[in-house]
Every structure is written in C-alpha cells, then in structure tokens.
Amino acid sequence: MSDDCIFCKIVNGTIPCSKVYEDDHVMAFDDIHPMAPVHVIVIPKRHIPTLLDVKAEGMNAAGALITAAQEVARIKGIDKRGFRAVINCNKEGGQVIFHLHMHVLGGQKLKDELA
C-alpha cells in the first residue's frame, strides 16, 4: 500500500466508494466521473504503479483484473451486449492515477476511434 495513493485509500476503507465487486485480490467500483453509462474501475488490492511494473510475481494480479472485468460485465448487464476494458500506462498513455487499474466501459455503442 502507498500512503498517498487514492486507490490504496479506497482499498483500506479510508475513502468510500460505490463497490461493484471484490475478492481477495481486486476491488471494482463505479467511476466518479463516468465516460459511459457503465464505467467501473477495477484495481488490484496490492499497489502496482503501472502496467510496466507487473513482473512475474504480479501476473496473478493481472489475471485477477481480467477475471474481475468479466464479473463486472455480468453484474452490470453488459456482458452480452459488449464492453471495453482499458488499461492506460503512464502519462502519454492517459494514466492519471499511478496505481494499476482497468476501466470497464459499456452500456451504449462505444466510439470506434481512440479517445
């Protein structure tokens, strides 16, 4: 855990969230600034700054993100219609919070071009 990381504070309960899914390895919650009707953030409970920081020991965390995204899609009812799962990496890749996270977006036809 990182003391100054907002996502670590959500994991430890210091900052509240609208939780969608949780297991031993990950937590998923509604984004407070949604970009689609369904916009859920999935994070590993362990602090990993970026996708580039996932090493062999962190591969379980990466797999847990994918499994959680599948569960979130089912919970939110977008699994059959379709959804997008996005991981941004570093500033130019659009990463704002430096705690590995995946955006699960859906609930409408998503644009084909990159944002």
Q: List the catalytic residue out of 25, 33, 47, 101.
A: 101
Residue 67 is encoded by which pair of tokens?
């499994």
Q: Are 102 and 42 in contact (CB under 8 A)?
A: yes
Q: Are 107 and 62 in contact (CB under 8 A)?
A: no
Q: Is 72 exposed, middle or buried (0-12, 13-18, 19+ CB in 10 A)?
A: buried
Q: State yes or no: is 101 an active-site residue.
A: yes
Residue 39, strand partner residues = 105
Q: Which residues are catalytic?
A: 101
